Amino acid sequence: RVLLAAKAKELDTRIRHLTAMRDGLRHAAVCPAASHMECPTFRRLVAAAGTGALDAVAAAARSTTPRKRRAPRRR
C-alpha cells in the first residue's frame, strides 16, 4: 500500500507538470504578442520551467488563455 500511494503521488506530480506544459502551449498558440518572448505569461512559464515551479505559473496561464465554449448537449 505504501508503494501504491507513492506511485499515485508520483503520477500526480507528472500530471501537474504535463498540465502546465499543455497550458503553456495552448497559451503560446493563441497569444497575441508579436513574439513569445514579448509575452509576460510565456516568459513566466519559461522561467518557472527552469526552476521547477510550474504549478503556480500554469494557473496564471490558464486564466489568460481563452477557453473554447462547449455546445450544449442534446438529450
Interval 24-74: pLDDT, tens? 889 888 999 988 888 888 888 878 877 766 655 556 555 655 555 556 666
Q: Say yes or no to pLDDT of 6 above 90.
A: yes
**Per-range mean pLDDT, top range of 7-11, 15-19, 40-44, 53-57:** 7-11
* The three grid cell numbers given for residue 73, joined into one nine-digit string: 448537449
CA angle (57 as vertex; 53, 35 as ends), nearest 5: 115
* The three grid cell numbers given for residue 44, joined into one nine-digit string: 513566466
What pTM does this model have?
Answer: 0.56
